[in-house]
Structure 1
Amino acid sequence: MDNTEEEVAARRFVLRWACHGREAASDDEQGAEPGRAPVRRPRVAVELHAHSTRSDGTLSPAELVERAHRNGVKVFALTDHDTMAGVKEAVEAARRYPIRIIPGVEISAVHSPSDKSGAEEPVHILAYYSSWGPARPQELERFLANIREGRYARANEILLKLRALDMPIELEDVCKIAGNGVAPGRLHVARAMVDAGYVDNLRQAFSRYLYDGGPVYAKGSEPTGESVVQLVCRTGGLVVLAHPWALKNPSAVIKNLKAAGLHGIEAYRSDGKVSGLSDLADIYELLKLGGSDFHGRDDKEEPDVGSVDLPVLSVSKFLDMAKPIWHNAIMEIFSSISERTTDFNGSKGFRRISSAGDFCIVHLSSEDQS
């Protein structure tokens, strides 16, 4: 099937953005010869949902960026659970490759039906920021830190339930698997269960015990989905609902989050299918996106980085919507800087900055020190 003119223009726009304004590779930009059918160009590989060792992935941010490059990914968003601690490493690693990094995070939340007609259920919300990072990084980090703290309490509760099922595991072992400074998640517990011989693999740990509402499932201190959406909007991010097909009541969740400011949903699945919720996205005028949700599990069925076939028109619409949001956030960042210093490139607390990537590193470093 040949490309439409709109697709060709969208591909050129996305590739130029991914290449920081430089011309894209010639084999992506060549048109058809006069009188001949248009050339079928390769898709633009984009990854908008992936996890590193800074949450529950198995690859470091740098290793993840390297894998993305090997797979031909041009735009890569690191979306660790409830932390942006890996973004600096990802940005620095990307200097070696022709790849654009989108600073991101997947935030844990809960949805409670406003009419109390159904049960509360967990939701996950993706936030995407400009190359300059979030506006108000300290506010965002305090919010995320509260969620991460709740992960320790949740892990304890899960382990108590496992002990009651004659499957004792120590929190110390789970935290060791998670890594230094990483809040423990269900995947870390699952790995501990495999190590202890209670289950054969991670898939079995989740399908039997750790799934939402399962025998050892426990909640943390997650905020409401609406408050997460509002926070991301306030800090200059674009907000997308992750894997809505896994929700029990996706229509109600999408409706409520749209009212709070939601920009899009994941509609393109890793299995190559388009979610049945695509029509709902059209009704609420939401972006339709997707990503692999790569963790690096020892699972042959796990989709690889960049494997989701996200239409280039969807990526172009994503960038079009993000542009004014990110622009306003950058203006707020510069405004806050001007209040703290009159010498942006030389005064105390700043090093010389030559690119947005440099600024993101410095900006997020100030977040770590707050």
Structure 2
Amino acid sequence: MGNNKKRKEKNHKKKKRKATAEQNLALRYVHEWAFRDSPPASPAGDAPDDFAPQSSHKIVDPVVFELHCHSNHSDGFLSPSAVVERAHSNGVKVLALTDHDTMAGIPEATETAQKYGMRIIPGVEISAIYSPRHEPGAGDLVHILAYYGSSGPSRPEDLDNLLLNIRDGRYLRAKNMLLKLNKLKVPIKWEHVTKIAGDGVAPGRVHIARALVEAGHVENLREAFNRYLYDGGPAYAMGNEPFAEEVVQLICQTGGIAALAHPWALKNPVTVIRSLKTAGLHAMEVYRSDGKAAGFGELADTYKLIKLGGSDYHGRGGHDESELGTVSLPLATVYQFLKMARPIWCNAMKDILQSFAKDPSDANIEKITRFGIPKKSKVCHTVNCGKDIVDLCLSSWLTSDEKEENEFQAIRLMLADTLISNGVVKVFG
């Protein structure tokens, strides 16, 4: 009897040691990527891992990821810089800015994040429609989060064209909403909505809701949505949303990670998730600060999707909005996300840099630097060898081992005779 008890205690200690080793491995891996330096050391006896090199120092601070938030480049209230600053004050170390159907705010967010030693994951929340029969205007409105590496999508024109078409549709959609409101004897002026949205920002429902509040038709944003603007509501309208499966496929083809946003808002979540998984969906949101996503973790497990989450912060203020960094992602989840994403982002970066090496034009410099390197960087104002731009781009995103891969070495050699002076490319030799 006593021997059995000792054996159980021994087995329990072994399991505990194994779990600790796995957690430490995940911690080292996440720290290595998030802070661009050596990861914390593993306890004696831990097996080495290909993804996380050994180190002599220990890091115990948590790495807070915020993977879903918005700025005033879509329907948020704060500038990208203000979002980054607020995230930093909340302890966020890695932030994905995911404005609706635009990536215009990411350069500003990236530049601000450099001041605080934060990482920015270039992201976008893409509006789409799920229709089992592929009928425009029918089915569930679906939002797909796309996460890219520091240099953005490997085929930026394809993604840009998709987003531009959606934004054009948002203008038409907003005008149709105003027509419906006018028929309901709730008049709103177009100029009022566009002024609230700001220059170059495609109007969304929140801008119309703010106009309703300012015009005195409702007391707050919640009432505007509950009375008029909810999905299928009396003033609701659709735009040029593409089919969700096509959006997921494009994200995969351009070197991004595709995640289903707030699945609990769908009318038929199981059907949508099953179809999008077939199209290549990598992940879905499961974690919320209010704990109201019960049951979706099991759905993610069923379809072998990584379980993510974020605050969906807009900067509205009030008790009904989660703060930046308040959705706590388990370390194992972040580890799984990065292990899946990093090879995809690395391959996308190779495609972008190889395109630049074959055609070191001004347009291809812009593709490299628009997200990964701030525009005020000295790279844009001094004479640089082309391979220096490659090195600067790689150092901002990849690990030492990844940077030494043969493909990147070959790109450096190809660009050895390429000079960039004040944005003008010259090739010698």
Find the counterpart in structure 2 of residue 203 from structure 1: 222
TM-aligned CA distance change 1:355 to 1:256, over 3 Å? same
Give, in whole Å, the separation in 1 of the partners of 2:346 and 2:59. 34
Matched, 1:337 2:341: no
Please report how far the alpha carbon of residue 23 of structure 1 lies from its aligned counterpart in structure 2 after TM superposition: 4.8
Deviations 1:99-118 (A, max 9, x none): 111000000000002499x9
Alignment TM-score, normalising by the size of structure 1: 0.87
Please report how far the alpha carbon of residue 269 of structure 1 lies from its aligned counterpart in structure 2 after TM superposition: 1.3
CA contact 2:29–2:39 (8 Å) conserved in 1: no
Deviations 1:46-78 (A, max 9, x none): 100000011010111111111111000011000
Deviations 1:274-316 (A, max 9, x none): 4312111111111100000000113222000011011111011
Matched, 1:279 2:279: no
> What pairs up with 1:19-168 in 2 under 5 angstroms?
19-23=35-39, 43-114=62-133, 120-168=139-187
Give, in whole Å, the separation in 2 of the partners of 1:339 and 1:359. 22
TM-aligned CA distance change 1:65 to 1:342, over 3 Å? closer
Please report how far the alpha carbon of residue 176 of structure 1 lies from its aligned counterpart in structure 2 after TM superposition: 0.6
Higher alpha-carbon Rg = 2
Deviations 1:99-144 (A, max 9, x none): 111000000000002499x951100000000012111112211110
1:355 counterpart (392, 395, 399):
392
Find the counterpart in structure 2 of residue 176 from structure 1: 195
2:271 counterpart (252, 261, 269):
252
Matched, 1:13 2:50: no
- Give the AA of the match of 1:15: H
Instruction: Please give the root-mean-square deviation of Cα atoms over the aligned residues, in Å.
Output: 2.8
Identical aligned pairs, as a percentage? 56
- Give the AA of the match of 2:393: A
TM-aligned CA distance change 1:21 to 1:42, over 3 Å? closer
CA contact 2:264–2:293 (8 Å) conserved in 1: no
- Give the AA of the match of 1:243: H
TM-aligned CA distance change 1:275 to 1:20, over 3 Å? farther
TM-aligned CA distance change 1:191 to 1:30, over 3 Å? farther
TM-aligned CA distance change 1:176 to 1:266, over 3 Å? same
TM-aligned CA distance change 1:224 to 1:196, over 3 Å? same
Aligned pairs, number? 347
Give, in whole Å, the separation in 2 of the partners of 1:113 and 1:359. 42
CA contact 2:66–2:94 (8 Å) conserved in 1: yes
Alignment TM-score, normalising by the size of structure 2: 0.75
5+ long unaligned stretches in structure 1 = 33-38, 361-365
Give, in whole Å, the separation in 2 of the partners of 1:357 and 1:144. 27
| SS of aligned partner of 2:324 | coil
Please report how far the alpha carbon of residue 190 of structure 1 lies from its aligned counterpart in structure 2 after TM superposition: 0.5
Segment drifting more, 137-146 vs 270-279: 270-279
- Give the AA of the match of 1:90: A
CA contact 1:126–1:242 (8 Å) conserved in 2: yes
Give, in whole Å, the separation in 2 of the partners of 1:83 and 1:275. 30
Please report how far the alpha carbon of residue 30 of structure 1 lies from its aligned counterpart in structure 2 after TM superposition: 9.9
| SS of aligned partner of 2:127 | strand
Please report how far the alpha carbon of residue 207 of structure 1 lies from its aligned counterpart in structure 2 after TM superposition: 1.4
Larger RCO (CA within 8 A; separation ≥ 6): 1
CA contact 2:129–2:243 (8 Å) conserved in 1: yes
Give, in whole Å, the separation in 2 of the partners of 1:255 and 1:44. 32
